[in-house]
Structure 1
């Protein structure tokens, strides 16, 4: 079991987000490529792999499972995340007993690339010995 957990720009309820709305496999892969460019991903999984994964998990709801997480957790979420609105970050933090929510004002779904230095400062302050 992990001692601590870091969750970034996520949702426990994929069934409540609409990342892709494509009818065919080809259209889905193109939508994935467009989202990849929009979010600013430099290194991403193969589009067919992402499409298969999305089709497999898009109707899931993990909110009930959050109560089974028993470790200190930091949830980092951008206030302007269009893909997983802030309410989803709040769902994560509220569902885990020992979770802290760090909201980065003005950040979107690509919070790791948009605010990398700010996140690094926060993590160093939170875990100074581990990140020294």
Structure 2
């Protein structure tokens, strides 16, 4: 079932709810520059196991409205809060990938974990700029991270299809078919170019370091060891900074671990949620 939820005047968020009212709710928050359909293979299987899968298209992405403003982590986290309250969700597990993971971390800090009982961070873009943080990026690594997102922002405004091809080339460490690549590329094309660029700015500039200590629910950090988009050092940093967290490495995966090691991903997610 799909429907729209208003989060601001003239801004509606698209939500897909696989089985309203039944099963433990898992709220999936997609990464940049995709939409909730990236979790197709989770939506195919997890409801059979008794889970209510709910996918959000963040503003500017997928079927959601595309306002000119509102792409900070704070605003995106506020949108998620409105969805949770509108659906009257309880005992929610966040399953949040990449930028979605960063938004989930901000949500936990900004909204004191409202209605969320467990947090699954999947290849999350979680890092801090503060010096002296264990497992943090070196100064040179941080510069490379900032440069890469600055280039993506420029490329989004000049040749977005080619930019998406480049993202697709480094997204997966394991072989995926050309047909799958084309489908995946199409998810990125569905996004607003402006929203994609503005979220690239947020990815480049936002700092989550002060948010980690405010997370007070069991947290599982799912991360590909071969991730070239969000390096595995991000996973170590989050694991060191988040209480009650466990780190689950995916040895054979890059940024697309939710597909590259699909069976392991489902097995570990179900174990974690319980």
Task: Output the TM-score relative to the length of structure 1.
Answer: 0.81
Structure 1 counterpart SS, 2:205: coil
1:84-128 CA-partner distances (Å, limit 9, x unpaired): 111111111211111111001121011111112111011223334
2:234 pairs, out of 53, 65, 88, with 88
User: Which residue does the alignment assign to 1:51?
Assistant: 197
Q: Answer yes or no: is the 8 Å Cα contact 2:150–2:204 preserved in 1.
A: no
Number of residue pairs matched by the alignment? 127
Match of 1:33 in 2: 164
Shift of 1:14: 7.7
Partner SS state of residue 211, structure 2: helix
For 2:22, the equivalent position in structure 1 comes to: none
- Pick which of 47-56 and 64-73 moved more: 47-56
Bigger Cα displacement from structure 2, 52-61 vs 38-47: 38-47
State yes or no: 1:21 paired with 2:151: yes
Q: How does 1:1-132 map to 2 (within 5 A)?
A: 1=114, 2-13=116-127, 16=142, 17=145, 18-19=148-149, 21-22=151-152, 23=154, 25-27=157-159, 29-30=160-161, 32-38=163-169, 39=171, 40=181, 42=184, 43-44=187-188, 45-46=190-191, 48=193, 49-128=195-274
CA shift, 1:32, in A, is: 3.6
Shift of 1:37: 2.9
Contact 2:149 2:204 in 1 (8 A): no
What per-residue deviation string (whole Å, max 9, x for no partner) do you get for residues 46-90 of structure 1?
Answer: 151212211244111111211111100001001100111111111
Moved over 6 A (4+): none
5+ long unaligned stretches in structure 2: 1-113, 130-141, 172-180
Q: Which runs of 5+ in 1 are unaligned?
A: none
Q: Would the alpha carbon gap of residues 122 and 56 (structure 1) be closer, same or farther in structure 2, given more than 3 Å must change? A: closer
The answer to whether the Cα contact below 8 Å between 1:82 and 1:109 also exists between their aligned partners in 2 is yes
- Distance of aligned partners of 1:105 and 1:114 in 2 relative to their CA distance in 1, 3 Å threshold: same
| Matches of 2:162 and 2:200, distance apart in 1 | 12
State the SS of the aligned residue for 1:10.
coil
Change (3 A) 1:37 1:47: farther
Structure 1 distance, partners of 2:218, 2:121, is 11
Which structure shows the bigger proportion of residues in strand conformation?
2
Q: C-alpha distance in 1, partners of 2:217/2:163?
A: 33
